């Protein structure tokens, strides 16, 4: 589980927008850019080339 303080300061590295923490998927999701950043060993990987594109349906669930 990620620290709440860390979650409060993390932003999308691409657009600097808000991120949504998906605990079950171990991802931080930016709905603005439709990107999901992985969390590996409790460390967010905030690199755009490591992110996966999320589908429209996934994005709609978060909005």
**CATH architecture under which domain 4-62 falls:** Single Sheet (2.20)
At 28, list the tokens.
């931080």
Please state the pTM of the whole predicted model.
0.91
pLDDT one-digit tens code per residue, 8-43: 999 999 999 999 999 999 999 999 999 999 999 999
* Residue 1 pLDDT > 80: no
Domain range annotation of the chain = 4-62
Please, what's the b/e burial string for 24-35 (b: 16 or more CB within 10 A of its CB; e: otherwise)?
eebbbbbbebbb
Cα–Cα distance between 4 and 49 in angstroms, integer? 25
């Amino acid at each position: 589980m990620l620290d709440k303080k860390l979650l409060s300061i993390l932003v999308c590295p691409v657009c600097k927008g808000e991120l949504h923490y998906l605990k079950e998927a171990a991802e931080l999701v930016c709905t603005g850019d439709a990107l999901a950043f992985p969390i590996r060993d409790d460390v967010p990987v905030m690199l755009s080339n490591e992110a996966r594109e999320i589908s429209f349906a996934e994005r709609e669930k978060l909005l």
